[in-house]
Chains A and B, each alone.
Chain A
Amino acid sequence: MSKKMPEGARKIDFAMLGRILRTLKGYYPRLLPLTAFCICFSAIAAALPAVFVQRVTAIIEERFMTGDWAGARPVIITNLAILVGMYVLSLTSSALYGQLMAFMTQGFLKKLRVEMFEKMQNLPVSYFDRNKHGDVMSYYTNDIDTIRMLVSQAIPTTLQAGVIVISVTCIMLYYSIWLMLVIMAGVLIMLMVSGTIGGGSSKYFIRQQKAVAETEGFAQEMMNGQRVIKVFNHERVAEQEFDRVNNRLFNDSFKAHAYANLLGPIIMNIGNLLYVVVATVGGVLLITGVKNFSLSGMAFGISVLIPFLNMTKQFTGNVNQVSQQLNSVVMGIAGAKRIFELIDAEPEADDGYVTLVNAEIDGSGNITESERRTGKWAWRHPHHDGTVTYTELKGDVRLTDVDFSYVEGKQVLYDVSVFAEPGQKVAFVGATGAGKTTITNLINRFYDIEDGKIRYDGININKIKKSDLRRSLGLVLQETNLFTGTVMENIRYGRLEASDEECVEAAKLAGAHDFITRLPKGYETELSNNGSNLSQGQRQLLAIARAAVADPPVMILDEATSSIDTRTEAIVQAGMDKLMENRTVFVIAHRLSTVRNSDVIMVLDHGRIIERGDHKKLIEEKGTYYKLYTGAFELE
């Protein structure tokens, strides 16, 4: 049927539709055919009453002149009994299909969601650099919704309507080919109309979607800056700009719905006209007595005409239903396309086979693997010959001649070599874009280096399983991200099996204990919205506590204390120092006071290390660090 639909229908991507169905079949190999069967069965059963209406009418016609109800009664009852039997079957299958469909749709959506989410967890960080958060979010909201409409409504309705149309066509062939041709001509016109109008409608619906996104983006930006708008008395200008966006949305939305609303009345009334035409043609056929062609060989009579009139209604109703689904189909497929794009995205490759294990180390330095947490860790390194060696986790990180670029052709790091011995504190100083954060991104393999080598305790980090590598590296970022849940849960995120006491201990270490106890419910205070009820400084303290409870041998502090005022930082400093004890620490800090006591300070400029040494040495060199330190240079 869809072949006949021009324009709008041509945009339907059948390959994508096929993929959706295959995925559905993959999830429900038995339920899907069963449901399809139920749909078809109930559709066929729904088409059959025409036959019985014809029979009853024929009986009426036959007995009408005599008025012989007593004689007609048993025949009518027999026919109606068969009809009732059909109905019972049809109802059962239709009820069953409704239940199965609800079960399958929701199951499908859940599995799709989970698949998307699991897939997303395995995507490399670069994916999130390339795609806006809002876009990723809309996979889970808008796109899933369109698929829901497609799977739960559009596809079954179309299937059902299709089967009904075919069955009814067969019945019509059985009775009269002439009238069938009349109805077919009418249906063809309906399909053309719904294709044209439906196409226009989907075009505007897609434009409406865009306009909504635009309005959302505009409102988001403006409201985030609402305070600035107020301070600058900019309200009226903001209003005017909003009116422009708002008008555009109004236009698209109006047109989309106007088209969609037209479809129903047009098809229903073409149906009404068709009804008249069928009745008239029927009358003409009766009068002229043209020979009837039919599979049954039945002669034409009123008992044939009446079921035909009913079938006209049925046809119209079904075509109308399918045409109403056209938007859902177009939008559902567009949504599916985006979702499959996410599912098809290249996941983060991980060929690492060296894993992190709890270890016991005896007096002579022999390492044995342990089931329980010993406080000591070792790298478990399986070899080709089947033997396994263990290397103690010490936190020795060496970068040798590392080159890197995020985008091909735009090199960010040149020949960077950094040697961090266990327990050392290494600081990176430099302007924004100099490559400080990039170096740390390479150590935990958010990105892979282009050239050079990174070794961790002497092992090439490419050989280490990514999750194990990252577990051994604590990361505290400037932009803190907390999760919905209690303060305690947020701290425990660092190590899921940590006890309450250990979490509190970590909070004390980070200097967060004080403010936490002053929160309304202490450690059980619920955080939401990325901890919006806390100050930026408090959030950072929590992030530090979270890293502290993880107790990793290596820590990366990327502007971890930049949002804490110097007075609080002084208080935290003690905890931070304790946190850094016996650990290899990489520090990126804006405040030179934070990096001053580092073992090594690397000054980066445009991806190259231009100075290295401790504070004293760099001051004596009177180079860039000296200028920064004395405030002669701008640091951004």
Chain B
Amino acid sequence: MISLAKCIRENKWPTIITLLTILLEAIIETRIPTITADLVNKVKSIELTGTAQAGGMKEVLIAGLTLFVMAAISLACGGVAGYTSARAAAGFAKNVRHDIYYKIQDFSFSNIDKFSVSSLVTRLTTDITNVQMTYMMLIRMAIRAPLMIVFSAVMAHRMGGRLAASFLIIIPVLGCGLIVIGIFALPAFRRVFKKYDRLNQSVEENVRAMRVVKSFAREDYEKKKFGAASEDIRKDFTFAERVVALNMPIMQLCVNFNLVFILYVGSKIIISNRGATIDVGQLSAMMTYGFQILMSLMMLSIVFVFFTISIESAKRINEVLKEKPNLTNPENPVYEVADGSIDFEDAVFKYSDKAQRNALEKTNLHIPSGATVGVIGGTGVGKSTFVQLIPRLYDVTEGCVKVGGRNVKEYDLVTLRDSVAMVLQKNVIFSGSIRENLRWGDPNASDEETENACRAAQAHDFIMSFLDGYDTHIEQGGTNVSGGQKQRLCIARALLKKPKVLIFDDSTSAVDTRTDALIRKELKEYMPQTTKIIIAQRIASVQDADMILVMDDGRIEAAGTHDQLLESCSIYREVYEQQSKGGEQDE
């Protein structure tokens, strides 16, 4: 909760103003019935005397004016509190969103792995909305309600004496009632929300898999599944709501009891004492106080429910805020990468402490600056893991990785990642123009530089074939370009960084062999000094590399040139034969 409280910041003042105005409002509002009682008594005395005494009327008007002024102040307070509380809560929510989003920007890959995107998005939206509502309720009602209860009770006691005894009975009764309801309803609500989440998840799954559902003609099966899940929720939800619905009759019972009690005892006192201690005005005021206390209790119960619901949300938000980015800049970072040489020294990596197997077994390797290295291997043997250690997307578990002769942990992260460009396997281009996307590589790139990079990536021609050329708008998820085009745009984007090390993680899988070859040829000319690491499925993509690494089961099984490997490595030979039989290899 403390990390959440830190997000209040500039909203401290609106919050404090809200609290103060609400305090004032509560004081005034509990004064109003007393003054009204006075007013009523005055009116009554006019009636009793039966004549239009100028003095009596004047007193009535003065009391009326007092009330008018108080209502005006109360309105002003309520208005200000409404405004400042909305501001404080919305501002608080904004800060929480800001903090979470900024926090995520500092996350390392392994931090990101821990949370799924959809769960982060829920935290950023629904959870924060819950917390915002609760914050507003807390500063408006959670303060107001107890104040109202105490003030009303005190005023009632001062005014009504014995009449206030009824409050001593109904407040505990109502309080207990609410608590009992809470005890039964809250766990049910929590259960409901969990089931609700799961139901929505299954709908989402169904929508996404619509073609699968239809092609297996499983509509009825899905309907049955969904019907059962909905029924399950209906049962729990109905139970929870029925329990909560008891709130209303319990409250009415108390209001009614209060009214009858006050009417009976009040009329007895008034008649027996001939209005000496209390009068009809007080009688009416006592009913009002009773009502105010009950409303406040109800409000407390609503706040209570909201609070419990958003505790879960707050917990989930805190999880993100408390997550420590496990990749941080060193204290005296190095801002210069000497060259593109890469060394792995006894490097071992696993994705989490709990992982049973190392994703990368102990590896020793030297790649000279400017070399071209191919990496070959099946799915899940650790190729991506291996290259992700170079720009320090993950930290090695043991040993070290060096770029330009220095441990990657010594570099400033931005410097390191600017020097090591990587075209990821699961690549993404963002909604926006092609040019905007390319400038991710270099925000200051000239049009000429941009075009050159695109030519090298074999993207220039197809970009120009679009109506708007480089200004063509890319849809979210890049749905309006083909897979191969997307890959080439991603390559161009990486080339614009003019890196010292360039890594392709299966980046040309959707590009045809001829273009693939052209890209590799252009790369050699476009950036001869740059160390190039190419992960590929096709032997053709790597066979002219200076060195080819064959990976299997988290380790580098063999390393050498194409010819060497054909001779010495059975896996390599197997893949090669399989592919040349398929006929996809270059001539």
Contacts and interface: CB of A to CB of B under 8 A. Distances in A.
B51 to A, nearest CB: 8
A242 B477 CA distance: 18
B71 A273 contact: yes
Contacts of B538: 566
A257 to B, nearest CB: 4
A269 B32 CA distance: 11
Contacts of A99: 242, 245
Interface stretch (A8-16, A132-140, A177-185, A574-582): A132-140
A107 B555 CA distance: 58
Interface in A235-271: 235-239, 242-243, 246-247, 249-250, 253-258, 260-262, 264-266, 268-269
A121 B43 contact: no
B271 A272 contact: no
Given A67-B274, A215-B125, A262-B83, A95 B52 contact: no
Question: Which applies to chain B's interface (DSSP): helix, strand, loop or mixed?
Answer: helix
A232 B497 contact: yes
Contacts of A254: 86-87, 90-91
Nearest to A145: B196
Contacts of B493: 232
B238 A106 contact: yes
Interface string B75-116: 101110111011101110110011001101111110010001
Interface stretch (B208-216, B328-336, B339-347): B208-216
A219 to B, nearest CB: 5
A103 B242 contact: yes
A107 B379 contact: no
Contacts of B68: 273, 276
A537 B81 contact: no
Contact of A634 (B140, B208, B393, B514): B514
Interface string B165-198: 0000000000000000000000000000000001
A221 interface: yes
A587 to B, nearest CB: 14
A72 B264 CA distance: 11
Given A120-B207, A258-B82, 5 more contacts: A61-B280, A107-B238, A261-B140, A262-B83, A269-B75
A189 interface: no
A368 interface: no
Interface stretch (A281-289, A375-383, A414-422): A281-289
Interface string B43-67: 1101100001000110011001001
B159 to A, nearest CB: 16
A444 interface: yes
A483 B209 contact: yes
A125 B210 contact: yes
Interface in A288-311: 288, 301-302, 305-306, 309-310
Interface in A103-129: 103, 105-107, 109-110, 113-114, 117-118, 120-122, 125, 128
11 contacts: A83-B263, A246-B94, A262-B82, A272-B67, A272-B70, A475-B211, A483-B202, A535-B379, A566-B582, A592-B582, A634-B484
A223 interface: yes
B557 interface: no
B217 A467 contact: yes
A565 B376 CA distance: 10
A101 B244 CA distance: 11
A313 B291 contact: yes
A235 B105 contact: yes
Contacts of B587: 630-631
B376 to A, nearest CB: 9
B514 A632 contact: yes
A227 B112 contact: yes
Interface stretch (A52-60, A326-334, A602-610): A52-60
Contact of B252 (A94, A110, A594): A94
Interface stretch (A84-92, A161-169, A399-407, A451-459): A84-92
B583 A229 contact: no
Contacts of A77: 264
B525 interface: no
Given A110-B230, A215-B124, A216-B125, A253 B93 contact: yes
Interface stretch (B362-370, B399-407, B418-426, B558-566): B418-426
Contacts of B523: none
B203 A475 contact: no
A473 B252 contact: no
Interface string A146-162: 00000010000000000
B223 interface: yes
Contacts of B87: 254, 258
A219 B128 CA distance: 14
B264 A80 contact: yes
B56 to A, nearest CB: 7
A413 to B, nearest CB: 19
A593 interface: yes
A276 B90 CA distance: 36
Contacts of A114: 223, 226-227, 230
B326 to A, nearest CB: 13
A496 interface: yes
A54 to B, nearest CB: 11
B272 interface: yes
A87 B252 CA distance: 9
B378 interface: yes
B584 A95 contact: no
A522 interface: no
Nearest to A124: B214
Q: What 7 pairs between A and B have smallest CB-CB spacing?
A: A593-B582, A265-B78, A261-B82, A98-B245, A481-B209, A225-B428, A631-B513
A364 interface: no
Contacts of B374: none
Nearest to B116: A529
B246 A494 contact: no
Contact of B379 (A216, A284, A536): A536
A396 B277 CA distance: 102
Contacts of B112: 226-227
Given A216-B125, A483-B205, A636-B483, A265 B380 contact: no
Contacts of B219: 121-122, 467
B200 A137 contact: yes
A615 to B, nearest CB: 9
Nearest to A235: B105
A536 B425 CA distance: 12
Contact of B260 (A68, A83, A481): A83
Contact of A91 (B252, B288, B413): B252
A279 B64 contact: yes
Contacts of A30: none
Given A287-B56, A566-B575, A262 B208 contact: no
A242 to B, nearest CB: 5
Interface stretch (B34-42, B145-153, B309-317, B444-452): B34-42
